[in-house]
Structure 1
Amino acid sequence: MSTFIRDTIERATVSRRNLLLGAAAGVGAMALPMALGRGAAHAALTDPAIAWSYRDRASAYWNAIVSGGESFVESIGRPKDTLVNLINEGSSEKSLADIKAFLSKTGGNCAIACDPNDSPNARPVVEAVAAQNAFISTIWNKTDDLHPWDFGDNYVSHMTWSDVKPSEQTAEILFKAMGGKGGIVHLGGIPANNPAVQRLQGLKNALARNPDITLLDAQPADWDTQKGAALMASFLTRYGDEIKGVHCANDNIAYGVLEALRAEGIEGMPIVAYDGNPEAVKLVMDGKLLATVFTNPYWGGGITASLAYHAAIGSFKPSEEPRDHREFYGPTVLVTAEDAAAFKAKYMDATPAYDWSDFWGPSNGGIAYN
């Protein structure tokens, strides 16, 4: 993190205290612009409300995301329950409606962290936020033609994860466990989601190098355990013993696959997954899954909220940052049986302490477009 940003955050914290003291003397409104530093006064908000817009908290992945957001909120001296939860339940329409309602309620005095649910929904969400001079940082889903720098400072940043290569790695692990031949099925996420597209592409890249592996079928399971179970049951009915391995787009789907296999009395089917949830890591340790991929959702949730908030209060000016600070990849860690225990001890038995003002520390560089 640059010295300028860190120093400005510290000055902004002090100036917020001075504002409260100075307000009694009638000078607070005059003092604030001077304290915020280089080019930030015109955009700075005072005590903006903070929200996270996401799918649901029943998922271990999203629970980790929001827990990271709560940790950030506590780091700035607020109770964690002041983080507003905008739960869209997998509906892009609800995502947009909830954000518009939040903007109306706060009068635009807010900072929003958001997964838009699907890529096309990102633009109307960002446009609604920018129209109210509020601030937003997004993760995972946006179209390739939508960029933060096209919206000045209000669209602060977008973080996604480069899923193609990790998905190739899990596929190669799957193929090796199958002896390099046989049929597989792929259970994917929501088709319009960037990670669903990339994880399927990673599988296809691996298939191109392994001609004796046959992709029998690939269908969406919408990231959902119950849909994963139903889809796997239908695959078993259709393909039966032809299925020698299963490639899952996320851990939740893999849980459903395991349910469907147990219902048929099938044990030992090679399966790979993605997300690195605690349950999945335990399944890797127990030999029920071959591998999963951790994307550090706790850090992602906290840093996305932090970026939106600090841009809102003027701690830094997004438009003065390089583009790889505005669109960047989050971290990924492949988890296999060989390292699952060490991984669990580091990331799950204890919660790593993060500096929420180190905006780009664990990130993996700027987003590359094909």
Structure 2
Amino acid sequence: MKKKLAVMALAAATLSMMAMPVYADDLVTVGYAQVGHESDWRTANTQNYQDVFSEDAGYSLDLVDCDNDNAAQLEAVRTFISKDMDYIVIAPIQSAGWDTVLQEAQDAGIPVIIADREIEASDDLYDAWVGTNTTNEGITAGNWLAEYLGDADANILVIEGSVGASATLGRTDGFNQVAGEHDNWTILDSQSGDFTQAGGQEVMESFIKSYEGQFNVVICQNDNEAYGAMDAMDAAGITYGVDGDVTLISFDATHDGLQYTLDGKINCDVECNPIQAETVKGVIEKMQAGEDYEKTTLVEDQAFVAPGIESEYATTMTQEVLDGRAY
């Protein structure tokens, strides 16, 4: 009887083990050096990686929030190398200064995927890049403004993103390309709001003091900066958006940003799509299988405008559009 019970217990234990999830040793390890948590966009991007690179999908994700600290991000990548991660994904805080640590990853035989932002390094030092074209985002904003204003003058204030970030550089360069084609456009000032609501409010408050009554366009390089700029203009009694004295342009097209667009407070919101982890996972799967993969993959994005505005460059916001958004 005891022998029979022992056999039954062993069988039960075997079935239990068969029903258990895949062991951690069998998971593909991915280290993600995330920029930080400075914006709603970044939060959505982090959640996307956590959802996609789950244990159920066969992955072990080590995500490090680098809190917009470039030195901390370099250290995070070196920690991934020391842990011998299968893959390293980097959303670079700054575009420069990556050559040495990328060479270290390459020497360790660990594939590196640059995501979201770009870097100033030879493409021989990393294996793939996945992200959006931020220069095109800036061009889209400029083209839309030209379409919207027609022959009217534009006196423009720009709240830039974080200094040295490729998103800042790309959106600035793209918009300036279009602005340079219009003699009646003047960029009065351009300062960094560091992609945060507090930063956007602080810069806008300073702008209002320096350029009161002189501007009719405000460009914020992400939605959180736009929220801060709106707070500052509200406090100063300055109207903006549809039928306002100031045309407000934003970037990212997060849920709240598009809600403000639907409400007519933001005239135009140019998307930077944070749903990128699926694309990164697709690249990794091809690497795992030894298949050819694209060195560069662009994630599609679009632009949105407030109700009542028709545009060649953007989709007019509706509640249906907002309800259908993934973030």
Q: Does 1:302 align with 2:278?
A: yes
1: CA distance between counterparts of 2:271 and 2:172?
17
Match of 1:335 in 2: 304
1:198 Cα deviation (Å)?
A: 1.7
Partners of 1:122 and 1:141 within 8 A in 2 = no
Match of 1:113 in 2: 89
More helix by share: 1
Cα offsets for 1:175-225 (capped at 9, x unmatched): 555562141111112232222112112221222232222110112222122
What is the correspondence of 1:319-358 to structure 2 with a 5 Å cutoff?
320-321=292-293, 325-338=294-307, 339-341=316-318, 342-348=320-326
Cα offsets for 1:274-322 (capped at 9, x unmatched): 1111110001000110111223212x133224534652xx2234xx44x
1:270 Cα deviation (Å)?
A: 1.3
AA paired with 2:289?
Answer: S
Q: Does 1:89 align with 2:60?
A: no
Give the secondary-structure state (helix, strand or coil) at the position aligned to 2:67: coil
Match of 1:33 in 2: none
The alpha-carbon distance between structure 1 residues 275 and 124, as it changes in their structure 2 partners (threshold 3 A), is farther
1: CA distance between counterparts of 2:64 and 2:228?
26
Correspondence for 2:213 among 237, 241, 251: 241
1:61 Cα deviation (Å)?
A: 1.0
Q: Does 1:284 align with 2:261?
A: yes
The alpha-carbon distance between structure 1 residues 61 and 316, as it changes in their structure 2 partners (threshold 3 A), is farther
The alpha-carbon distance between structure 1 residues 46 and 133, as it changes in their structure 2 partners (threshold 3 A), is farther
Correspondence for 1:201 among 147, 160, 173: 173
1 or 2 for the larger relative contact order (CA 8 Å, sep ≥6)?
1
Cα offsets for 1:142-166 (capped at 9, x unmatched): 445420xx24xxx331123222333
Match of 2:48 in 1: 68
2: CA distance between counterparts of 1:307 and 1:254?
34
Match of 1:101 in 2: 79
Match of 1:223 in 2: 195
1:103 Cα deviation (Å)?
A: 2.5
Pairwise CA RMSD: 2.6
2: CA distance between counterparts of 1:303 and 1:224?
27
User: What stretches of structure 2 of length at least 5 have no aligned partner?
Assistant: 1-16, 19-24, 241-245, 308-315
Give the secondary-structure state (helix, strand or coil) at the position aligned to 1:84: strand
Partners of 1:247 and 1:273 within 8 A in 2 = yes
User: What stretches of structure 1 of length at least 5 have no aligned partner?
Assistant: 1-19, 22-44, 352-370
AA paired with 2:61?
Answer: L
2: CA distance between counterparts of 1:144 and 1:121?
7
Correspondence for 1:315 among 289, 296, 299: 289
1:331 Cα deviation (Å)?
A: 1.0
| TM-score calculated relative to the size of structure 1 | 0.71
Match of 2:109 in 1: 133
Give the secondary-structure state (helix, strand or coil) at the position aligned to 1:243: coil
1:248 Cα deviation (Å)?
A: 1.5
Give the secondary-structure state (helix, strand or coil) at the position aligned to 2:251: coil
Give the secondary-structure state (helix, strand or coil) at the position aligned to 2:52: helix
Partners of 1:54 and 1:115 within 8 A in 2 = yes
Partners of 1:183 and 1:216 within 8 A in 2 = yes
The alpha-carbon distance between structure 1 residues 125 and 87, as it changes in their structure 2 partners (threshold 3 A), is farther
Give the secondary-structure state (helix, strand or coil) at the position aligned to 1:158: strand
Matched residue count:
290
1:172 Cα deviation (Å)?
A: 3.9
Partners of 1:66 and 1:302 within 8 A in 2 = no
Structure 1 runs (4+) greater than 4 angstroms displaced: 175-179
Q: Percent identity?
A: 17
Partners of 1:199 and 1:249 within 8 A in 2 = yes
The alpha-carbon distance between structure 1 residues 109 and 54, as it changes in their structure 2 partners (threshold 3 A), is closer
2: CA distance between counterparts of 1:309 and 1:134?
15
Q: Does 1:185 align with 2:177?
A: no
